[in-house]
Amino acid sequence: MTAQAAARPLPARPVSTWTGWGQWLALATMTIDHLTRYVAPSGWELGWAGSSLGRIAFPLFAAMVAWHGLFNTRNPLRYARRILIIGLAAQLPYMLMPRASDAFILNVCFTLALGLAWGAWLRELLARHRSGSLGSAWLGAALVATLAVWYLLGEWVEYGHRGLLLVPLFMLAMHHLHDAGETLAERLGAVTMAAPLLIVAGLMNSSDMAKSFTVATCLAVLWLAAGAHRLTPGVPAAMPRRLWLAWYPGHFALIALWLWASGGLG
């Protein structure tokens, strides 16, 4: 590290105003996805909505979890536990949704919480290695162990192995983009750190339309992390906390009730 880089002050914590907009957009696009998938009659041919607007929700949720876990909380693991509580409340109605496969799958809150815990733990490992308290051999063994756990858990969570990667890769990209210096080399290095996220996002869906919306969502958030967060105006109506916490399990419960009443669960 050069003396100039060492003397460079750490950047101020980024403004999180954009997440107020992100909350409304994430809930709206998720609901559109689930209504078109589970409620709308197939004759309405609304599958395009799930393959376009519906593909915004998961990367946006992952981005907000990574952002708060990286910049806005002192205890990412406690934050992950709160997400797990929502996932536990939603699991039963989630399991009632019609699926092509009968395999047991944990809902997306488990994907987000495990991804956040993984990302936070990796950051802790690297920090200890840089400080000299964790040797290279132990670091390598810990990384191999986390990959083994990732491989095992990927079969049990929504969005699978690639979904588990999204939060840690968002954290990696956001950290480097926010912390990038003024030189061209530093900025190019930060952009390089965003490449793994975009590659995984591009692999998450099958159709070109779905890939485009997922990657575009990731690019928009990376632009915010690179400095555009300062330009975001305040949301006119902040989302009530109770609505934010209850919507995911609550909307699944309402969909399950509708399917039961209409014979869709029979």
Domain with 164, as residue range(s), is 17-261
CA–CA gap between residue 176 and residue 84 (Å, rounded): 27
Write the pLDDT tens digit of every residue in 117-147: 999 999 999 999 999 888 999 999 999 999 9
- Alpha helix locations (H) across 154-207? 160-179, 184-203
| Residue 2: predicted pLDDT | 46
What tens-digit pLDDT sequence spans the chain (266 residues)? Answer: 444 444 455 567 899 999 999 999 999 999 999 999 999 887 888 889 989 999 999 999 999 999 999 999 999 999 999 999 999 999 999 999 988 677 899 999 999 999 999 999 999 999 999 998 889 999 999 999 999 999 999 999 999 999 999 999 999 999 999 988 778 788 888 899 999 999 999 999 889 999 999 999 999 999 999 999 999 999 999 999 999 999 999 999 999 999 998 886 75
Q: Does 193 reside within a domain?
A: yes
CA–CA gap between residue 12 and residue 56 (Å, rounded): 28
Q: Does 3 reside within a domain?
A: no
Q: Which residue has the tokens 């979890």?
A: 65
Q: Does 221 reside within a domain?
A: yes
CA–CA gap between residue 170 and residue 176 (Å, rounded): 10
| Residue 46: predicted pLDDT | 86
Nearest to 174 by CA among 26, 21, 59, 6: 59
> The whole model's pTM is what?
0.92
Q: How many domains does the chain have?
A: 1
Write the pLDDT tens digit of every residue in 51-69: 999 999 999 999 999 999 9
Q: Does 7 reside within a domain?
A: no
